[in-house]
Structure 1
Amino acid sequence: MEFSQEDNNKVPLTKFESMLKTNNVLFFDSNEFENIIHHYLNQGKVALAKKAIKLGLEQHPTSINLKLFRIEVFIFENELDKANRLLDELYVLEPSNEEIYIQKANVLSKENKHKKAIDVLKKALTLTDDAADLYSLIGMEYLFLDQFENARDHFIKCIEVDPEDYSALYNIIYCFDFLEQSDEAIDYLNGYLDKNPYCEVAWHQLGKQYASLKEYEKALNAYDFAIISDDRFVGAYIEKGRILERLKRYNEAIENYTITLSLEDPTSFALLRIGNCYEKLGLKDLAIQYYFKTVHEDPLLDKGWIAITKLYCKLKNYQKALYYINKAINIDTENVNYWKLYAKINHRLNYLEEAERGHKRALELGNYELETWLQRSDLLLQLGEPEAATFSLIQAAEFFPENAEIEFRLAGLYYALVESDKTTYHLNNAMRFDADQVIILEELFPEFYASIEVKNLLKKQQ
């Protein structure tokens, strides 16, 4: 049993912590130690749990449960040999203690011996009156083995024993999803809801299944039942809002997202979606307000900064767009999408050096899209740096071999650099790969396009 805030059983915990501060050794019965240790483990305070286990075993050296807690900590700290030795000792003393089998299975699982872990857990099933947790543990081991049907079947057995184990319910649906069995998932959830009609979690999952099949009206009905079951269920309002957006019912979507803001602290996701809905409704001022609220709530959310920047781009207010993408970059200099937008906006403003810098930075961060390579090389050409443009395209050709857009550009650049052999080589490659792309020469290298060499090649193509 874990201590709650109002529980009188907090007294042993307070007494224990007071003892640690004063170094006075006080007596606790073994149950009190178990509760104290359980509390600390649940709080993630392993060091305090270890102190409680040590003192507990000093006062109750024969306590099996305290030794099991020691094993649990050994497993947590990956001291599996120590865990195994102590488990062997306990097995001799209590061969019918199901917890010994569970901890043994935990060790085996940590050692990636999942089949053996399953065998041990199945033995534990024969020793227990409460099988739900064991079915769930077996299901998890099958998940580790990627045996999704077996995993699903054991999570279903868990639900049969404990219908309110929502963790198992989520895992059942996860297995159905992985197996791409949406219809079967829907059938299962409907059967579950026949017996548990006010389970908001099941209605929510049913809505997601219908949404994945684009049966949006059925999805909306399921989310409505989830909300009837629990009118404070934020997830149902969010999912309902998303469906309403897809149906272009933006005002209704806004209503649902807004409800979530009153149920819990505002989330950046809900604020962003409200902003997006207002933008779709043509209410740009309201959209901007909510986008600003989004980045205020979560300055690290790139979708918020990108939404602000793109909206100002749509309004052709490129200076403001540049201002906000710069703010975003100052927060996260490693975000590729920021640098791509930075390059695009600077190009619009005819700030060519800054635009080239944006593309270069995007490439440095691993954005090897063809468009990024091509735009950067075109900018370098405009900036009077044909050698740098050539070097960039040679790098691009490693990622996109036999690409006519790259080869035509290389041919034009080598023509400008008066390297005739390389010009001919890349021009022939380009014509072979896709002669229709010769328009690139007309746009970027008109002098070369008008040359006899190009004209002769074009005649051969006719």
Structure 2
Amino acid sequence: MEFSQPDDNNNFSLTRFESMLKTNHVLFFDSNEFENIIHHYLESGKIALAKKAIKLGLEQHPTSVNLKLFLSEIFILENKFSEADELLNEIHIVEPSNEEIYIQKASVFSKQDEHKKAIDTLKIALKINQGDEGITDLFALIGMEYLFLDQFESAREYFSKCLALDLEDYSALYNIIYCYDFLDQNNEAIEFLNIYLDKNPYCEVAWHQLGRQYFTIKDYDKALAAFDFAIISDDKFVGAYLEKGKVLEKKKSYTEAIENYKITLALDEPTSFALLRIGHCHEKLGQDDLAVQYFYRTVHEDPLLDKGWIAITKFYNKNRNFQKALFYINKAINIDGENVIYWKLYAQINHRLNFLEEAERGYKKALDLGNYELQTWLSRTDLLIAIGEYEASILNLIQAAEFYPETAEIEFRLAGLHFTLHENSKGHYHLKNALLLDHEFDFILEELFPNVLKKPSVQQLISETKK
């Protein structure tokens, strides 16, 4: 539906309408006035007021198709699909060639995940439209429905139709590139963007997207050139400076990268991303004091950014200040307790502080979250051994063996544990397996089970295998 632009008359109508609501004194408005009032409230997100205006409007103009279409739009917003469908069918009898009916019917289908039906319905609206104003909106709606179906080639076709009609439809441009990205067609995206830039050479959005494509295929020199052109087209384009900084980091030009990130801080409110990247660049340059200053600024800017807390954690961990590292890894875990990397770092820091039970808890949490790397199993086992939890150690290794069968490092540990628990037959069984798999790992017994290594039967078995 089309509406006149806000003007003094519209403002006067709105003022009269709101005055009427306050006084309960019913005033007359023509249907166009009601349409503009309703449109204003919907655009402002004032749904309750829009509903009041629709109700009063239909009381004064019960045959108005546009007011009924507004009512069906409200039904769709409130997921009252049967009511919307019934009303749209009623309107269709009166105005079968009204494309808005089909657009709203398509919206009902789409909200019920019937995207194929939505597309078919929108294509009927397209036939009715026959090239009138608003056709680009229909192309965009069809493109979005194809996206919902993961039919990216078809989606791209319809977004391309939008762009053909309006070269500066950047929403369509972004969606086209999204389709190329999803299909991993970076080279095709580059070709498309270069053709587009021939027609619209000062489009900073296209240069920015071209730079991202070159960055993805690791052609950093061309990426850098593209971001420079984006900046020439718009020297206040924050995104281009950020992306240029990322490219310069890849090229190990850390000082230049810092300069570009700092430009973004001057152009706009400081972003935690830019502050964090500046910190990492200073760290790469060996400027630790500046690095940690920017890491602290990062978390000050965004206290919920776990990557900021992790950067500080790693900084102190590297500098062997484990108490501070522990304090900050706990901050990160409080923000994202499902991150395996954080729990492993938590375990390592606690281990260095000799907090063995907490370290074991960290590795267990990593395993619970699906981190089944061999080293995680082994690290947890060694901690359980250190705190005397032998049965738990065996259970942990049995689980590990399901993922890593016939692994000498597991078998040597199982042997040592069973001997420690005086289960000699099991100990000999696992020791034989371990020695057959790789006898060079026999140092595990010396490190973890020195008393077991002193057993004559163990010594004999090892020496026989090495002959």
TM-score by length of 2: 0.90
How do 1:372-387 and structure 2 match up within 5 A?
372-387=376-391
User: Residue 321 of structure 2 corresponds to which residue in structure 1?
Assistant: 317
- Establish whether residue 358 from structure 1 lines up as the match of residue 362 from structure 2: yes
1:144 has 2:145 as partner:
no
Q: Kindly state the Cα deviation for residue 92 of structure 1 after the two structures are TM-superposed.
A: 1.4
**Among 188, 191, 194, the residue aligned to 1:187:** 191
Amino acid at match of 1:278: H
In the TM superposition, 1:325-340 aligns within 5 A as: 325-330=329-334, 335-340=339-344
Cα displacement (A) at 1:123: 2.0
Residue 118 of structure 1 corresponds to 119
Matching residue of 2:461: 456
Offset at residue 346 of structure 1 (A): 1.9
SS of 1:126 mapped into structure 2: helix
Give the whole-Å Cα distance in 2 for the aligned partners of 1:75 and 1:113: 14
Distance 1:370 1:45 in 2: 57
- Structure-2 residue corresponding to 1:47: 48
SS in 1 for 2:128: coil
CA distance in 1, matches of 2:5, 2:344: 51
Contact 1:449–1:455, Cα closer than 8 Å, also in 2: no
Deviation at 1:10, TM superposition (A): 4.3
Residue matched to 2:228? 224
Distance 1:191 1:216 in 2: 21
Alignment match, 2:136: 132
- In terms of mean alpha carbon deviation, does 416-425 or 146-155 score higher? 416-425
User: Which amino acid in 2 is paired with 1:393?
Assistant: L
Identical residues among aligned pairs (%):
68
Instruction: Please report how far the alpha carbon of residue 271 of structure 1 lies from its aligned counterpart in structure 2 after TM superposition.
Output: 0.7
- CA shift for structure 1 position 278: 0.8
Give the deviation of 1:162 after TM superposition: 1.6
For residues 250 and 2 of structure 1, what CA distance do their matches in structure 2 show? 53
Contact 1:139 1:150 (8 Å CA) reproduced: yes
Deviations for 1:76-120, whole angstroms, at most 9, x for unmatched residues? 322222221111111111111111111122222233332332222
User: Taking structure 1 as reference, are residues 444 and 48 closer, same or farther at Cα in structure 2, changes over 3 Å only?
Assistant: farther
Alignment deviations for residues 207-265 of structure 1 (CA, whole Å, 9 cap, x no partner): 11111111111111111111122222111111111101101111111111111112221
Distance of aligned partners of 1:445 and 1:25 in 2 relative to their CA distance in 1, 3 Å threshold: farther
Could you tell me which amino acid in structure 2 is paired with residue 85 of structure 1? E
In the alignment, is the contact (CA less than 8 A) between 1:325 and 1:341 conserved in 2?
A: yes
Matches within 5 A, 1:289-438: 289-330=293-334, 335-431=339-435, 435-438=439-442
Whether 2:254 is the aligned partner of 1:253: answer: no
Equivalents in 2 of 1:458, 1:54: separation in Å?
94
Q: Is residue 203 from structure 1 mapped to residue 207 from structure 2 by the alignment? A: yes
**Is the Cα–Cα contact under 8 Å of residues 408 and 427 in structure 1 kept in the other structure?**
yes
Alpha-carbon shift at residue 460 of structure 1 (Å): 4.3
Residue 363 of structure 1, CA deviation = 3.9
Distance 1:458 1:151 in 2: 69
Describe the superposition over 1:43-62 as per-residue Cα deviations: whole angstroms up to 9, x where unpaired.
44433333332232222222
2:107 aligned residue: 106
Q: What is the alpha-carbon distance in structure 1 between the residues aligned to residue 62 and residue 390 of structure 2?
A: 81
The DSSP-based 3-state class of the residue aligned with 2:97 is coil
CA pair 115-328 structure 1, distance change in 2 beyond 3 A: closer
Is 1:61 aligned with 2:66? no
The letter of the residue matching 1:148 is F
**Stretch of structure 1 that moved more, 16-25 or 32-41:** 16-25
**Cα distance in 2 between the residues matched to 1:250 and 1:388:** 48
Q: 1:157 aligns with which of 154, 157, 161?
A: 161
Partner of 1:215: 219
Q: Which residue matches 2:34?
A: 33
The one-letter code sitting in structure 2 at the alignment partner of 1:118 is: I
Letter in 2 for 1:33: F
Tell me if structure 2 keeps the 8 A contact 1:448–1:454.
no
Distance in 2 (alpha carbons) for counterparts of 1:434 and 1:52: 82
Cα 1:247–1:19 change in 2 (3 A) is: farther
Cα shift at 1:8: 7.5
The CA distance in 1 between the partners of 2:379 and 2:351, in whole Å, is 10
Q: Are the aligned partners of 1:117 and 1:141 in contact in 2 as well (CA < 8 Å)? A: yes
Looking at structure 1, the residues matched to 101 and 421 of structure 2 have their Cα atoms a distance apart, in angstroms, of 78
Could you tell me which amino acid in structure 2 is paired with residue 244 of structure 1? L
SS in 1 for 2:379: helix
C-alpha change, 1:401 and 1:174, in structure 2 (3 Å) is: same
Gaps of 5+ in 2: none
CA pair 389-36 structure 1, distance change in 2 beyond 3 A:
farther
Alignment partner of 1:55: what SS?
A: helix
Count of residues paired in the alignment: 462
- Offset at 1:457? 5.9
How far apart in 2 are the matches of 1:381 and 1:100? 71
User: SS state of the match for residue 231, structure 1?
Assistant: coil
Deviations 1:313-367 (A, max 9, x none): 1122222222322344455555544332222112112232332233334445554
Bigger Cα displacement from structure 2, 432-441 vs 144-153: 432-441
Q: Which letter maps to 1:456?
A: L
Distance apart, 1:440 and its partner CA: 2.6
TM-score (norm 1): 0.91
